[in-house]
């Protein structure tokens, strides 16, 4: 006896439903870099990433500044702070995946990549 078309359609819907559930779970586990930035970084670096000259925070929209740091270097500054500046260490306040999400969010400020 051959399975019916209705059987295959039902099976396909079950598979699609299972796959979409997996994608939603993975997306929910990914930290929101913008939200973490807003909570932990915005007060010193500005909502737009342009910084504040009065407290000498960098303009993170500047392509030269963006090019001056690798993701690894930026991660280290976020984790360990920056000597000689008010930049605090966040290693004990943020998880590694949150820091990675913040680095990606900061990269979105690069004005040379916006049209």
Distance of CA 39 to the CA centre of its chain: 13
Q: How many helices (H) and strands (E) does the chain have?
A: 6, 0
**20 lies in the same domain as 8:** yes
| Three-class SS of 2-51 | CCCHHHHHHHHHHHHHHHHHHHHHHHHHCCCHHHHHHHHCHHHHCCCCCC
**pLDDT attached to residue 113:** 76
| DSSP state letter for 81 | -
**37 lies in the same domain as 82:** yes
**19 lies in the same domain as 70:** no
Show pLDDT as tens, one digit a residue, over the chain (115 residues): 566 656 444 544 444 555 544 443 445 688 999 999 999 999 999 999 999 999 999 999 999 999 999 999 999 999 999 999 999 999 999 999 999 999 999 999 988 876 5
**pLDDT attached to residue 12:** 45
Number of domains in the chain: 2
**7 lies in the same domain as 42:** no
**26 lies in the same domain as 36:** no
**62 lies in the same domain as 17:** no
For helices 96-107 and 71-80, the axis angle rounded to 10 degrees is: 130
Q: Report the largest interatomic distance among the alpha carbons of the chain, rounded to a whole angstrom.
A: 79
**52 lies in the same domain as 12:** no
Q: Which domain holds residue 81?
A: 31-113
């Amino acid at each position: 006896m051959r399975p019916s078309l209705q059987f295959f359609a039902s099976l396909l819907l079950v598979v699609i439903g299972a796959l979409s559930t997996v994608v939603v779970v993975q997306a929910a586990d990914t930290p929101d870099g913008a939200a973490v930035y807003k909570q932990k970084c915005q007060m010193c670096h500005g909502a737009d990433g342009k910084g504040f000259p009065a407290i000498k925070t960098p303009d993170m929209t500047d392509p030269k500044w963006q090019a001056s740091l690798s993701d690894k270097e930026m991660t280290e500054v976020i984790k360990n702070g920056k000597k000689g500046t008010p930049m605090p260490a966040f290693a004990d306040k943020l998880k590694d995946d949150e820091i990675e999400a913040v680095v990606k969010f900061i990269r979105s400020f690069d004005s040379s990549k916006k049209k």
